[in-house]
Amino acid sequence: MRFLASLILVLQFALPAQAAELVMFEQKSCVWCRKFDREIAPAYDKTTEGNRAPLRRLDIALPAPSDLAFIKRERFTPVFVLIDGGREIGRIRGYPGDTFFWGLLANLLERLDRGESATPEPPAAPPPGATFAE
């Protein structure tokens, strides 16, 4: 019995905690998604931000996986949604360019650090740097 308790304790600390993710909703015809691919994507996973919130890409035209069913979908791309432990922290609507993207992502990561969540309402029209989903 003592062995079993020790094993459970070791496994509890050996398994990684559920990490935050940055979910990107995209589509093939999205020029702003391609711009993100050129300016951010090649380096993202090598950054501190990318290590804290790995990028997970989803086609907006396909059903979301069951673990992401809680994310409210929007009708334009790209949309970046920071999630952690089954809750939405916040989102970036559209791709505003590399300089603004990093600043907006830093704001979302600060919200994560403070333990804040968001329940966003999608805007009626896409913001600058976004394409309507087909």
Identify the CATH number of the domain in which residue 83 sits. 3.40.30.10
Positions of E strands within the chain: 21-26, 55-59, 76-77, 79-84, 87-93, 131-132
Task: Find the domain containing 124 and state its range.
Answer: 17-132
| 3: in domain | no
Q: Give the tens place of pLDDT for each residue, 1-58.
A: 554 445 444 444 443 445 899 999 999 999 999 999 999 999 999 999 999 999 999 9
Amino acid at 64: A
CB 55 within 8 A of CB 24: yes
Q: How far is CA 85 from the centre of its chain?
A: 12
Selected residue with higher pLDDT from 4 and 129: 129
Q: Tokens 């791309």 belong to which residue?
A: 77
| 1: in domain | no
Among 66, 65, 92, 75, smallest CA distance to 27 is for 75
Q: Which pLDDT value is given to residue 10? A: 43
- Total number of domains constituting the chain: 1
Q: Give the tens place of pLDDT for each residue, 59-104.
A: 999 999 999 999 998 889 999 999 999 999 999 999 999 999 999 9
DSSP-derived secondary structure letter, 53: S
